[in-house]
Amino acid sequence: MQQTVQENNTLLIDGPASVQIVSGIAEVFGKQLKETQRVVIRKDKRKPFYAVENMVLNIMLGANATITEVEGNTIPQSWNKPIQIVKELEKKPRVIIVLGAADMGKSSFCAYLLNKLVVGDHRVAVVDGDLGQSDIGPAASVGYALTTKAVTELNNLRLQNGFFVGVTSPIDAIPKMIQGLTSMINEALQKEVDYVIVNTDGFIAGDVAVNYKLSLIKELKPDVVVGIQAKDELDQIMSYLGGGGVMVVEPSPALSARGPDKRKSLREMTYKKYLKKPKLQCIPISQLTIEPRNGIPKSQEPEKGILVGLYGYGTRFLGIGVLRAINTSRRTLKIQTSVSSKPIRLVLGKVVLNKKLDEV
């Protein structure tokens, strides 16, 4: 179908869908799209196409996809203040951490921030610390990417390296989360970047969450902290912070709330992406360093498997796998994975997947 959008209006498209620019100029999270460019919107995701000038779009909608036209730009003006402050900082590289509850548009804000900061061929690293809704790398892991190009979503970025945590909620692994984020940021800082953007999870309510976020900020020492909040949900965290580098912005009015089923579906999409065309590797236990020690179960149900992280030498994250069989007599493991090389280290997670790579 073909859709005409008037200048200064926004077309909100919920996927799965594919959009091609026929004429005019569209903008998605600050990235300008011109004629013939095509954008894919994943299932359970929403993208805003802002008409910089009158535009015509060719749209292919999948099952349950929707489109809605609204007046004006759905990117809040308040999102530009942190960009201005970050650009004015003399220190390089500059580290920005983004906080907010679930469904506040943290990933959208990070994409917008990235697109504004890469202007002038600046090199930007994005560290994804949202275990349950990861855009960079598979769910249950922390990953980072490097780019000098604008994107329509963080999922477009290529994983540079990752840190497998093994769970989809930080409440089960706070020390490991802090270790993983610190490790990825330190590695990114060695890549001659101008900016590091750190996206975080939506775990903010309660004393445990507040202490976790404050510990994270203390450890990472960001130059700028940006909180996205609708009411006062971040007040308890932000009240402990001070200085010109701490600010709150409003969420986009185009937010699309996702329930537990949609969140689970998005996680499963990441497993399937990083386990594409998998093969079974039979690996002797003696050839692996396994974490945690003595963590291998004595038996394995055929229809279920434990998600594992696979590493090469040092801290090189090779990818994920699923522990499908344990041969106690031969002391071997059968790992379903897309990783072609033999891993040196295996980290056992707590997520369980069935044969269709759906969470059990």
Asked whether residue 295 carries a pLDDT value surpassing 90, the answer given is no
Give the integer Cα–Cα distance in Å for 353 and 190: 35
Q: Is residue 99 very low, low, confident or very high in pLDDT (cuts 50, 70, 90)? A: very high
- Amino acid at the residue 234: L
Same domain (yes/no): 192, 81: yes
User: In the listed set 212, 232, 249, which residue is the last one of a domain according to the structure?
Assistant: 249
Same-domain pairing of 66 and 103: no
Taking only the tens place, the pLDDT of each residue in 279-291 is 999 999 999 999 9
Unique residue bearing structure tokens 């015509």: 56
Peptide bond into 292 cis (omega under 30): yes
Say which range, 44-53, 135-144, 291-300, has the weakest mean pLDDT: 291-300
User: Is a pLDDT exceeding 90 seen at residue 124?
Assistant: yes
Q: Count of domains in the chain? A: 3
Q: Are residues 122 and 220 in the same domain?
A: yes
Q: What's the rounded mean pLDDT across residues 107-120?
A: 97
Range of 133's domain?
77-249
Asked whether residue 90 falls in the same domain as residue 223, the answer is: yes
Same domain, 108 and 206: yes
Q: What is the pLDDT of residue 16?
A: 96
**Domain end among 234, 249, 264:** 249
**Residue 210 pLDDT grade (very low, low, confident, very high; cuts 50, 70, 90):** very high
Q: Which pLDDT belongs to residue 30?
A: 96
Q: Which two tokens stand for residue 194?
A: 């101008």
State how beta strands 17-23 and 38-41 pair: antiparallel
Q: Is 106 exposed, middle or buried (0-12, 13-18, 19+ CB in 10 A)?
A: buried
Task: Give the Å distances, CA to CA, from 1 to 12, 17, 67, 278.
Answer: 15, 11, 11, 36
Residue 243, pLDDT above cutoff 80: no
Q: Are residues 220 and 307 both part of a single domain?
A: no
Q: Is residue 166 domain-resident? A: yes
Lowest mean pLDDT segment, chosen from 161-175, 298-312, 314-328: 298-312
Q: Residues 52, 170: one domain? A: no
Per-residue confidence band for 256, with pLDDT thresholds at 50, 70 and 90: confident
The CATH number covering residue 291 comes to: 2.40.30.330
Residue 228 and residue 87 in one domain: yes
CB of 170 closer than 8 Å to CB of 212? yes
In a domain, 260, yes or no: no
